[in-house]
Amino acid sequence: MSTPQVPGVDAPAPPPTVTRSTGDLVRAAVSGWLGTALEFMDFQLYSLAAALVFSQLFFAGEEPGMAVVLAMATYGVGYLARPLGAWYFGRMGDKIGRRKVLFYTILLMGLATTLIGFLPTYEQAGLIAPIMLVLLRLAQGFGAGAEISGAGVMLAEYAPAKRRGIIASLVALGTNCGTLFASAIWAILLAVMVEEDVLAWGWRIPFIASAVIMVFAVWVRLNLKESPVFEERTDVVDGQALSRDEMVDLATQTNDIRTLESLKRKPIKATLVSFFLRFGQAGNSGLIQTYLISFITITLAVQKGVGPEIVIVSSLIGFGTIPFVGWLGDKFGRRRMYIVMTSLALVLIVPTMLAINTKEVAWIFVGYVVIHNVAVLGLASMENIAIPEIFGSRNRYTLTAIVREIAAIIATGIGPVLAAAWVAATTGSIMPVIVLLALYTLSALIAAIVAPEWTGRDLTDPRPAM
């Protein structure tokens, strides 16, 4: 079959020469789900701890308002290491394969999270305590920088072309499972323990317990086969990618036009579109899943147990939202669904935030669940397949990971800190949250509008989709 000159939906995926069984696909799906569940459980454990107790445990010497800002800042610190981890592990994944790198990332990320549960507090060790917390956050971020990207790449390269969206939505379901599990643990702790015991030792339980999932995920990945697309790459010999000069020589000898074009073409538009799709979703995630819980608990003075309970309810509903949006992306195209979901989110931001600002628990639940499922989970469902599909096979892991993490460090790492400072400066107004959510969502909408459709393209093509 001849290769079309323009990659995209006019270049459907041909039958692969390297195949995987249904069992292999199931193992890949479980691997991606477990790894992403662990990543988001780790980060949700930390974000809830930052919102609920870390300001008292690690920044006890500060005024309450400043302690919250510092606790949010340590949440953001984890994102500083993520681009470095994305670059390091992403390049490794494009060179030696996805499977090995996914083993390394899960191990590093899981160990760092478990060790947080053994840290001394500020009262016990003084400044050493927040310093050690920051160091573990950096290690956690370094491993996580290529985890969800690698899981998305692996599932995209395993899945049938017409089912990529719903299969890759398992990665987003992993984020939901991790968020749900972390929130459930915190909700149980706050329900059965008095606050003094939670601050004394109970906060350690969720972090130490995360080791169970890490061990299971490591075992699954030891039994996982390599991505069929990686093995099918023309520039991979004996399980390792050739150098650029070697690729040029081989492509010239075999008249591999696609590889030669990929070496000349700069993926500028593909990178910008992917960046802003990620920027919008990541920014919304940081504000809604991290800062908004702190806003509800501290600024609105709602009892601490409400925050985790809201996240649990919304995450349970997300088990329907995520695969449904993934299926719609397969049926109608990723670009069209991005436009629909971001437009819907823009319309819903003001009414949902005003509902939360009423301080009525029922309205807080309604507002949070609606905006979380549309502006965070709905976009995450598509993002995990959309970005890997946009890039070519030769540098898919590297570019996917770097774009995702640079967007995250700008949007998610800074967003909660900026929101906390801005809300404090406006004496508790919710308007800064509304403005930031609108800016993040609008960035993803514009990116989708200017992009051509890319759903279902040939993932063995080394060229970008645009």
Give me the pLDDT at residue 275, please.
97
Summarize the confidence of residues 399-417 as an average pLDDT. 88
pLDDT at 433 over 60: yes
pLDDT at 93 over 70: yes
Does residue 283 contact residue 440 with C-beta atoms inside 8 Å? yes
Give me the pLDDT at residue 63, please.
57
Give me the pLDDT at residue 62, please.
56
pLDDT interval class at 344 (50, 70, 90):
very high
List the beta bridge partners of residue 237.
Answer: 240
Is 85 a domain residue? yes
Q: The dihedral of CA 213, 166, 400, 261: what is its sign?
A: positive
Is 258 a domain residue? no
Count of domains for the chain: 1
Give me the pLDDT at residue 5, please.
42
Is 53 a domain residue? yes
Cα–Cα distance measured from residue 164 to residue 25, given in angstroms and rounded to the nearest whole number: 12
Cα–Cα distance measured from residue 48 to residue 324, given in angstroms and rounded to the nearest whole number: 28
Is 292 a domain residue? yes
User: For residue 457, what is the DSSP state?
Assistant: B
pLDDT interval class at 367 (50, 70, 90):
very high
Cα–Cα distance measured from residue 323 to residue 319, given in angstroms and rounded to the nearest whole number: 7
> CB within 8 A of 229, min separation 6: which ones?
16, 18, 157, 393, 459, 460
Does residue 380 contact residue 289 with C-beta atoms inside 8 Å? no
Is 387 a domain residue? yes
Question: In b/e form, how buried is each residue of 174-204, taking b as 16+ CB within 10 angstroms?
Answer: bbbbbbbbbbbbbbebbeebeeeebbeebbe
pTM of the model: 0.81
Cα–Cα distance measured from residue 309 to residue 34, given in angstroms and rounded to the nearest whole number: 23
Is 321 a domain residue? yes
At which residue do the structure tokens 């569940």 appear?
A: 37
| Cα 330 from chain centroid (whole Å) | 20
Is 12 a domain residue? no
List the beta bridge partners of residue 241.
Answer: 236
Is 458 a domain residue? no
Summarize the confidence of residues 218-245 as an average pLDDT. 85
Summarize the confidence of residues 251-266 as an average pLDDT. 88
CA-nearest of 141, 166, 139, 142 to 155 is 166
Query: Domain limits at 134?
Result: 22-226+263-450
Give me the pLDDT at residue 284, please.
95
Angle 441-442-445 (CA atoms, 0-180°, nearest 5)?
A: 90
Residue 360, domain CATH: 1.20.1250.20
User: For residue 12, what is the DSSP state?
Assistant: B
Count other C-beta atoms under 10 Å from residue 215's C-beta.
11
pLDDT at 445 over 80: yes
Work out the mean pLDDT of the chain and round it to a whole number. Answer: 85
Give me the pLDDT at residue 1, please.
40
Cα–Cα distance measured from residue 171 to residue 203, given in angstroms and rounded to the nearest whole number: 27
List the beta bridge partners of residue 236.
Answer: 241
How far from 198 is each of 53, 61, 136, 209, 398, CA to CA, in Å? 8, 19, 21, 15, 41
Summarize the confidence of residues 34-48 as an average pLDDT. 78
Task: Identify which of 123-127, 151-155, 272-276 has the greatest average pLDDT.
Answer: 272-276
pLDDT interval class at 72 (50, 70, 90):
low
Task: Identify which of 160-164, 399-403, 414-418 has the greatest average pLDDT.
Answer: 399-403
Does residue 277 contact residue 448 with C-beta atoms inside 8 Å? yes
pLDDT at 103 over 50: yes
**pLDDT, greater one: 44 or 14:** 44
Phi first, then psi: what are they for 315, rounded to 5°? Answer: -65, -40
